[in-house]
Every structure is written in C-alpha cells, then in structure tokens.
Amino acid sequence: MSQKTVLYDKHVEYGGKLVDFAGWEMPVNYGSQIDEHHQVRKDAGMFDVSHMTVIDLTGEEVRAFLQHLLANDVARLKDRGKALYSCMLNHDGGVIDDLIVYYLNDSWYRMVVNAATRDKDMAWIDEQSTGYDVEINERDDLAMIAVQGPHAREKAIEALPVDVVEAVSELDRFFGCDCGEWFVGRTGYTGEDGFEIMLPDTEAAAFWDGLAESGVKPCGLGARDTLRLEAGMNLYGSDMTETTSPLISGLGWTIAWEPEERDFIGRAALQKERDKGVTQKLVGLVLEDKGILRGHQTVVVEGAGEGMTTSGTFSPTLKQSIALARVPKQTGDRCQVEIRGKRLNARVVKPVFVRDGKAV
Amino acid sequence: MSEIPSELKYTKSHEWVRDEDNGTVTVGITDHAQALLGDLVFVELPEVGSEVSAEDAICVVESVKAASDVYMPVSGEVLAVNDSLADAPETINDSPYDDGWLVKVKLSNPDQISDLMDADSYATETAED
C-alpha cells in the first residue's frame, strides 16, 4: 500500500508525475526534470521531503546515547541549533543510514533520517537506547519542504510566517532554529544554499502555495538526484549500504576518532579495517566518450583491477555523464566503464562536480 | 492527450513507421513514448548498412532516469540514421515525428507494414495505459 504525504494533492494540482519511492507516491518531476535542475542552480526550487523521518530525542542521557549511537560526535555541537552530518553504523562498521542531527539543548536533539530506512532505523535506535534515560519520539505530525537555490532563502522568507522570519534571517549555514511549531535548517541536499523547513502538517499545503507565489518552482525527485550527485553528496542505499563502511564510501571525514575513549557503535570494526589497510575508495567519474553512467557498471582500472559505479546520471550543469564509483585504492586519474558490452573512457576526479552553480 | 498522426503506422512498443512509398520507411518513437521517458539525454543508433529483423532492439534511448530499447517494427537494411541526435537527443522530445526520426530502413518484406497498427488502434491501445 502506497503512502502519501500531506502535499499529495498539491503535487497533483501542480502537474506532478507521481511514482513510487520507498512505498510513497512522490513526484519524479512536474514536466521536465532538467528544467527543474537548472531552476535550483539558478534561482529557487522546492521539494516535498515530508516522507523523510524526523525524530526528537530527549532526556537526561540523550547526549551520552548519541555519542554511543553515531560515528560523528554530537559533543562538537555546542551552539543551539548547530547541525552535524553523521553515519549510524552497525557493529561491523557498515552504514545503517546517514543523517543530520541538530543540537537544541542538553536534553533535546532532533535527527532527520531517510524515508526508505525509517522502520529499520527506528527499530535500531529503540534497541540501542535500552539502559539510557532517553525518550524517542517520531514526529510524524511534521511535514518538510526543502527550498534550494541562490534565491531560495530570500523567496522562502517572503512566504514564512512573520514570527519565524526574524530568527531565520540570521541563520548561519548548517544551523537550525526552532520557532514555535516550525523548525528551519539552513541545510540541503543540492549543493546550493537554502532551507529545509519542518512545519505542522496542517499548514504545509498553504505554505507550498505561498512559496509558489513567491516564485519558487516545484521540483521532483528526478532533479533531486541530479543535483545531489553533481554536488558529490552520497545517496544511502546506492553509495553506501550496510555492507560498506564509511572508509570506502567517501565518508571517512564524518568519523570522529577523538576522543579515543568514545566507544561508538562500529568503532572496533572500523579500527580493524584501518589496521588491515583500506583497499578501496569512492571517487568521481566524468564520462568522456558519449553515453550515460549508471549504478552497478563495471569500472576497469589498468594495473589496479576492477571497481563498480555506485550512482550515475547525466549532469545537466556539465552536460556530461557523471558517477560515483568504488574503485581500488591505487586508481589514478583514468579508467574505463563497461556499458552494454563496450568500454568507454572516463576521467577520475574528486567526488564533487559542481560548486556554486559551476563546474569544479 | 498525445499526438498520433493519422498517416503513420504504429507498434505496441510505441514506435511509429512512415511509409515513404518507395520501398523504404522512416522509424521513430511516438509522442506517448517521449512523454513517458522524459528528457532524453543520449541515443544509441545502429550502424548504417546493418541488417535488422522485426522486433530486434536496434536503438537505445536514454532519459536521465533510465535506458529504453527501441524495437524495429519491420525487417530490412538500415539506410540512414539521424546523426543530429548525437548532439541534441532532446529533439525527440520536441519533435518525435519529424526532426526526431531515428532510422530509415529499406524494406526486405513490404507486407510487414500492413501488420502494423493504424492510428485509431494505437490511440485505443494508449488510452488504456
């Protein structure tokens, strides 16, 4: 059975082409995913991300719990509203999910996890919280809309309720603010500036219309994928899974090894992997021959062996095909990718393709 | 409502055929197909001179989201392919029946055209989608 967000009727009204995404009926585009992509790079676009999971964690031992649960260290968050990107690992060091956690105060943190991993994540968090004085509260009363692009913040501010506007105008990058029932993070999954706005689901439809009136265009999941891949942002389930550690997923930077005494779940397994020597890495690929890179294509590296693409697409900004790929550690700056029986040439690059709307 | 020119013939897999009345046909994908696929970003065409059989997958059209096979409605020899699609695959989205043609084929069996659907049958077929 398919689930619908509170914005479903808006998607229909605005001409969204609805498809299944992790059991939710979501718009893949509203006409042209390429137009929507350019809209976000040049102006402002909005995404319904209400299917994602918002979790409030409260209680006396919430910090200690999160320091055990997450591979990054929430102790780094000292200012109200500051956000942290982290992986949540299993005991083998594999990634259960990636997420953002906000610090509100010493007994309240808010986490946002993926839609597709909701059940698995909630079960794991519940299980791991045994013995800690924490309360876990899934906020399924909240909708979420991401407004992204160089003009996103100014246009969103035109549509936000008056009592939210002041707090939000001062918001630094990678901070969130709670304003009554609303919560606005200056975060995103597109590589552009903007907000991710959590609000009571009863107010979501009216706010969507308000954003549209301020000149923000609806954008679907298709554009979301091309934008995040251009920005070099991982997609859980493609670029990392429960059988890959952050160390081979381009996410080593999200692990806080200090302080040494912090025994987070998966630490021992990661340490073992480091001691043995990490043998793979996640890189970016730009296809030089004509074609389209997708996930699960074999990558051939002369003198080093083989790897596999994890995500691939056509980049509307670069007008070339790009991918993320897991390859042997010694891979240099060239490789070939097997597509329909042919070997096509690709350049190996750092896994970021577009920054500030332009090719890196 | 998608466009379905009445003078063309059609297949269930959303290809169209224009009979050029000289033993050759032009083949492409329909307006219904290009709308389903979305923005096209890459087209792989067969070699000129290759022999193809009806129902062979002779082309691949790729949208941002996925790759789709295009099936030959008729058998014959590929006389020409639309080279302009290499740099502008989106032409198929904008003009699926004219500038977005895929291949021209010399028929090895002219009777095969009469086996194809006419515009009305294709309209019924796609209405049920």
A220 touching chain B per CB within 8 A: no
Torsion of CA A217, A220, A225, A228, to 10 degrees: 30
A222 with A339, same domain?
no
A249 with A192, same domain?
yes
A303 with A178, same domain?
no
Number of domains in chain A: 2
Indicate the fold that domain B10-108 takes in CATH.
OB fold (Dihydrolipoamide Acetyltransferase, E2P) (2.40.50)
Cα–Cα dist A63/A66, whole Å: 5
> pTM of the full predicted structure?
0.93
CA distance to partner chain A, nearest, from residue B39 (Å): 6
Could you tell me the CATH number of the domain that includes residue A166? 3.30.1360.120
A28 touching chain B per CB within 8 A: yes
A199 with A335, same domain?
no
A341: which chain B residues are within 8 Å (Cβ-Cβ)? Answer: none
Helix, strand, coil: what percent of chain A each, to 5? 25, 35, 40
Give domain limits for chain B. Answer: 10-108
B86: which chain A residues are within 8 Å (Cβ-Cβ)? Answer: 290
The amino acid at residue A167 is A
B67 touching chain A per CB within 8 A: yes
Q: pLDDT tens, A272-289?
A: 999 999 999 999 999 999
Could you tell me the CATH number of the domain that includes residue A332? 2.40.30.110
Residue after which a domain boundary falls, among A249, A276, A303: A276
| Beta pairing class for A176-179 and A182-185 | antiparallel
Phi, psi (5° rounding) for residue B17?
A: -130, 130
Residue after which a domain boundary falls, among A276, A293, A315: A276
Secondary structure class of A19 (helix, strand, coil): strand
Give the chain B residue nearest A223 (alpha carbons).
B64
Question: In terms of DSSP H, where are the helices of B40-107?
Answer: 91-94
* Long-range contacts of residues A75-84, Cβ cutoff 8 Å, at least 24 apart: A76/A256, A77/A101, A77/A102, A77/A103, A78/A103, A79/A103, A79/A175, A80/A104, A80/A105, A81/A171, A81/A175, A81/A176, A81/A177, A81/A178, A82/A174, A82/A175, A82/A176, A83/A174, A83/A175, A83/A176, A83/A185, A83/A187
A227 with A284, same domain?
no
A167 with A302, same domain?
no
Chain-centroid distance of CA A311 in Å reads 14
The ipTM (two decimal places) reads 0.84
B38 touching chain A per CB within 8 A: yes
A196 with A272, same domain?
yes
A106 with A224, same domain?
yes
User: Are A34 and B39 in contact (CB < 8 Å)?
Assistant: yes
Among the listed residues B97, B21, B37, the one whose alpha carbon sits nearest the alpha carbon of residue B69: B37
B39 touching chain A per CB within 8 A: yes
User: Are A290 and B65 in contact (CB < 8 Å)?
Assistant: no
A291 touching chain B per CB within 8 A: yes
Return the residue in A38, A292, A313 with the most chain B beta carbons within 10 A, the one to mutate for interface testing: A292
A52 with A197, same domain?
yes
- pLDDT, tens digit only, all 360 positions of chain A: 689 999 999 999 999 999 999 999 999 999 999 999 999 999 999 999 999 999 999 999 999 999 999 999 999 999 999 999 999 999 999 999 999 999 999 999 999 999 999 999 999 999 999 999 999 999 999 999 999 999 999 999 999 999 999 999 999 999 999 999 999 999 999 999 999 999 999 999 999 999 999 999 999 999 999 999 999 999 999 999 999 999 999 999 999 999 999 999 999 999 999 999 999 999 999 999 999 999 999 999 999 999 999 999 999 999 999 999 999 999 999 999 999 999 999 999 999 999 888 888
Instruction: Please name the member of A33, A313, A340 whose beta carbon is closest to the beta carbon of B38.
Output: A33
Tokens found for residue A75: 């102790």
Instruction: Please name the member of A34, A292, A316 whose beta carbon is closest to the beta carbon of B42.
Output: A292
A138 with A166, same domain?
yes
Q: Tell me the residue range of the domain where A20 lies.
A: 1-276
CA distance to partner chain B, nearest, from residue A200 (Å): 32
**A334 sits in which H/E element:** strand A334-339
Instruction: Please name the member of A32, A291, A340 whose beta carbon is closest to the beta carbon of B39.
Output: A32
A69 with A55, same domain?
yes
User: Are B65 and A28 in contact (CB < 8 Å)?
Assistant: yes
A187 with A297, same domain?
no
